[in-house]
Chains A and B, each alone.
Chain A
Amino acid sequence: MPAAQLIPIVIAALPMIQTGVTEFIAWLETLRSAAKQAGEWTDEQDAAYLAALRAKLGDPAYQPDPG
């Protein structure tokens, strides 16, 4: 397929690709940082992790469907 024909297709697909890309990049970065971990968490790191986890309770994505 000639490159010139691909350009409008890619441009039209951009809004679809855009959805979720931020989440995907953040996920990749997290996998990378997890793989790089060489030592145990400090108490501060553990507390920060727990605080971030508890903060999710206000996130609508974590609430079940009503009913």
Chain B
Amino acid sequence: MKAHLIMKKLYPLAPLLLLLTALTLLGFLLAGCATLNPGADPLVVRVEQTLTTANATFDMVLHVDQADRGFWRTNAPAFHGFCEWLRTPVSTYADGNQPRAVAMQLNLDGLKNDYKANKTVAGSNTLYRALLTLNAAVSQSSSWSNIITSPTHF
């Protein structure tokens, strides 16, 4: 049976599948949320949480594109373009040129360690700005992962 025919038959189940996925995600997150340990800096913990999430999200998106770059280049050029943007080498804080997906994380981790060593308002502002930049890229990656797995284009 051809893929688009399968997707058409599965389409009535899409709301149910979406609901189950949403409930699973909600369950994972609610069950997992934790309060901070005494003495832990909330900004540092937030940065580390974002680094962990970014690492996994970029990995997932880039590996999906890598599975068949030719297909995505032809059928979803904007998605492939975003992946290429993540792969573009850019300069880092201390590691020379690296793919942007890696460089943004290395830079944020470097800024975090600087902030931990010398906690100033300027340092926290710089760290927060870098955190927002990475967060925006992670949000965009998550949006792309929703779009590329949506059956609406069938």
Once the chains are docked, how many angstroms separate the CA of A40 from the CA of B67? Answer: 35
Query: By the criterion CB–CB under 8 Å, are B63 and A23 in contact?
Result: yes
- Minimal beta-carbon separation of B81 from chain A (angstroms): 10
Query: By the criterion CB–CB under 8 Å, are A36 and B32 in contact?
Result: yes
Q: Which residue of B lies closest to A13 (CB)?
A: B6
Interface membership of chain B positions 36-64, coded 1 if the CB is closer than 8 angstroms to chain A and 0 otherwise: 11001100110011011101110110111
- Minimal beta-carbon separation of A39 from chain B (angstroms): 4
- Minimal beta-carbon separation of A27 from chain B (angstroms): 5
For chain A residues 1-47, which have a beta carbon within 8 Å of chain B?
A: 1, 8-9, 12-13, 16, 19-20, 23-24, 26-28, 30-41, 46
Once the chains are docked, how many angstroms separate the CA of A61 from the CA of B73? Answer: 14
Count of interface residues, chain B, beta-carbon cutoff 8 Å: 54
Query: By the criterion CB–CB under 8 Å, are A46 and B99 in contact?
Result: no
Query: By the criterion CB–CB under 8 Å, are B109 and A61 in contact?
Result: no
Interface membership of chain B positions 14-32, coded 1 if the CB is closer than 8 angstroms to chain A and 0 otherwise: 0000000000110011011
Query: By the criterion CB–CB under 8 Å, are B45 and A39 in contact?
Result: yes
Query: By the criterion CB–CB under 8 Å, are B34 and A64 in contact?
Result: no
Q: Say which residue of B48, B56, B59, B88 sits within 8 Å of A64 (CB atoms).
A: B88
Q: Which residues of A lie under 8 Å from residue B33 when comparing CB positions?
A: 35-36
**What is the size category of the interface that chain A forms with chain B?**
35 or more
Query: By the criterion CB–CB under 8 Å, are A35 and B64 in contact?
Result: no
Query: By the criterion CB–CB under 8 Å, are A9 and B9 in contact?
Result: yes
Query: By the criterion CB–CB under 8 Å, are A50 and B109 in contact?
Result: yes
Known: A34-B49, A37-B45. A27 touches B57 (CB 8 A): yes
* Between-chain CB contacts (< 8 Å), 24 pairs: A9-B6, A16-B6, A23-B60, A26-B59, A28-B24, A31-B29, A33-B52, A35-B32, A36-B34, A37-B34, A38-B34, A38-B37, A40-B116, A46-B113, A49-B51, A53-B102, A54-B102, A61-B59, A61-B63, A61-B65, A62-B102, A63-B87, A64-B99, A65-B69
